[in-house]
Structure 1
Amino acid sequence: MRLLKNVVQRLIYERPAASASRVVSGESYERENPEIAHCLLYITRYTFAVNWLESGHRLRRRGDPMATRHIQRTAVLSLILAAATLTACSGATSGGQKPVSADDLVASLPPAKGDVDRITWNLTGGEPDTLDPANAVTTQSGQVVRNLCDSLLTLDANFNLKPNLASVRQETPTKLVLTIHRNTKFWDGSTVTAEDVAYSLRWSADPSKVTSFLFANVDSIKATAADKVTVAFKRPDEMFTSELANVVVLKKTFAEKAGAKLGTPAGGLMCSGPFKLDKWTSGDSITMSRNDAYWNPDRRPFAKSVKFTFVTDATALAQSLSAGEIDGAYELSASSVPALQKSKKGRLVFGLSSQSMNIYVSRPDGVMADADLRAALQRMIDRQGLARALYHGAATPMYTMIAPAAWPTAQRAEYEKAYKSFETSRSFDMDAAKKLVKASSYKGQEIVLAIAAGDDAQSRIAQLLQQQGREAGLTIKIQSMQPLVYAQAGYDATKRKGVDLYLSSNFSAAPDPLETIGFLYLPQQTYNYVDYDDPKVTKLFDTARSTFDGASRAKTIVEMQAVYEKANTVIPLVSTNTTTFLNDRLTGAITSFAYWSMPQMAYVGAAKK
Structure 2
Amino acid sequence: MVALVGSAALLAVAACSAGSGSSGGSSPGAEEALMVGLVAEPASLDFTTTDGAAIPQALLGNVYNGLVKQDESGKIVPDLAKSWTLSPDRKTYTFTLVDNAKFTNGQAFTADDAVFSIERVQTAWTTSLKSAMAVVESAKATSATELTVTLTKPSNDWLFRMTTRIGAMFDKTGVDKLATDPVGTGPYKFGSWKRGDSIVLQRNDQYWGTKPYFGQVTLKYFKDPNALNNALLSGTIDVIGTVQAPEALSQFNGNGKYQVIEGTTNGEVLLSFNNSRPVFKDLRVRQGIRAAIDHKALLDTCFAGRGKLIGSMVPPTDPWYEDLTGVAPYDQAKAKSLLQAAGATGKTLRLRLPTLPYATSCGQVVKSQLEQAGLKVQIDQLEFPAAWLTAVLKNADYDLSIIAHVEPRDLGAVFNAQYYTRYDDPTLQQHVAAADAGDEATQVSEMRKAARRLSEQAAADWLFLIPNLIVADKDVKGLPQNAITESFDLSRLSR
After TM superposition, the score normalised by the length of structure 2 is: 0.88
Which residue does 2:466 correspond to in 1? 576
Cα distance change of structure 1 residues 519 and 181 upon mapping to structure 2, 3 Å threshold:
same
Which residue does 1:222 correspond to in 2? 140
Which residue does 1:448 correspond to in 2? 350
Which residue does 1:240 correspond to in 2? 158
Q: Which has the larger radius of gyration?
A: 1
CA-to-aligned-CA distance 1:196-237 (integer Å, 9 cap, x gap): 111111122336233312113211122222111211111101
The 5 Å alignment of 1:265-280 reads 265=180, 268-280=181-193
CA-to-aligned-CA distance 1:229-259 (integer Å, 9 cap, x gap): 211111101111122212111111222xx1x
Among 118, 124, 129, the alignment partner of 2:39 is 124
The 5 Å alignment of 1:310-349 reads 310-333=221-244, 334-341=246-253, 345-349=257-261
Which residue does 2:311 correspond to in 1? 399
Among 552, 559, 569, the alignment partner of 2:449 is 559
Which residue does 1:197 correspond to in 2? 114
Which residue does 1:361 correspond to in 2? 273
CA contact (8 A) 2:393 2:420 kept: no
Which residue does 2:431 correspond to in 1? 540
Which residue does 1:11 correspond to in 2? none
The 5 Å alignment of 1:364-443 reads 364-365=276-277, 367-406=279-318, 408=319, 415-416=321-322, 419=323, 422-443=324-345
Cα distance change of structure 1 residues 365 and 431 upon mapping to structure 2, 3 Å threshold:
same
The one-letter code matched in structure 1 to 2:84 is V
3-state SS, counterpart of residue 398 of structure 1: coil
Greater CA deviation, 193-202 or 339-348? 339-348
CA contact (8 A) 2:129 2:413 kept: no
Distance 1:591 1:253 in 2: 37
3-state SS, counterpart of residue 397 of structure 1: coil
| Larger RCO (alpha carbons 8 Å, 6+ apart) | 2
Cα distance change of structure 1 residues 176 and 590 upon mapping to structure 2, 3 Å threshold:
same
3-state SS, counterpart of residue 341 of structure 1: coil
1:187 matched to 2:100? The reply is: no
3-state SS, counterpart of residue 486 of structure 2: helix
Distance 1:579 1:490 in 2: 29
Which residue does 2:4 correspond to in 1? none
CA-to-aligned-CA distance 1:344-394 (integer Å, 9 cap, x gap): 542221123212211001351254443322111111111122334443353
Distance 1:294 1:314 in 2: 35
CA contact (8 A) 1:398 1:575 kept: yes
1:161 matched to 2:73? The reply is: no
Q: Percent of pairs identical after alignment?
A: 21
1:231 matched to 2:145? The reply is: no
Distance 2:312 2:430 in 1: 20
Among 333, 346, 351, the alignment partner of 2:263 is 351
Q: Output the aligned Cα RMSD.
A: 2.4
3-state SS, counterpart of residue 395 of structure 1: coil
Distance 2:296 2:356 in 1: 24
3-state SS, counterpart of residue 148 of structure 1: coil
Cα distance change of structure 1 residues 275 and 237 upon mapping to structure 2, 3 Å threshold:
same
CA-to-aligned-CA distance 1:87-134 (integer Å, 9 cap, x gap): xxxxxxxxxxxxxxxxxx974221244526211112322x20222243
Distance 2:470 2:102 in 1: 32
Distance 2:250 2:343 in 1: 42
The one-letter code matched in structure 2 to 1:312 is K
After TM superposition, the score normalised by the length of structure 1 is: 0.72
Which residue does 2:215 correspond to in 1? 304
- Please report how far the alpha carbon of residue 336 of structure 1 lies from its aligned counterpart in structure 2 after TM superposition: 3.9
CA contact (8 A) 1:205 1:211 kept: no
- Please report how far the alpha carbon of residue 156 of structure 1 lies from its aligned counterpart in structure 2 after TM superposition: 2.1
Cα distance change of structure 1 residues 487 and 592 upon mapping to structure 2, 3 Å threshold:
farther
Structure 2: runs of 5+ lacking an equivalent: 1-15
1:461 matched to 2:362? The reply is: yes
Structure 1: runs of 5+ lacking an equivalent: 1-104, 510-514
Cα distance change of structure 1 residues 605 and 164 upon mapping to structure 2, 3 Å threshold:
same
Distance 2:279 2:232 in 1: 42
Distance 1:358 1:295 in 2: 39
- Please report how far the alpha carbon of residue 466 of structure 1 lies from its aligned counterpart in structure 2 after TM superposition: 1.4
The one-letter code matched in structure 2 to 1:503 is I
Runs of 4+ in 1 over 6 A off after TM superposition: none
CA contact (8 A) 1:134 1:209 kept: yes
CA contact (8 A) 2:327 2:456 kept: no
Distance 1:344 1:588 in 2: 18
- Please report how far the alpha carbon of residue 459 of structure 1 lies from its aligned counterpart in structure 2 after TM superposition: 2.4
Which residue does 2:11 correspond to in 1? none
CA contact (8 A) 2:431 2:447 kept: yes
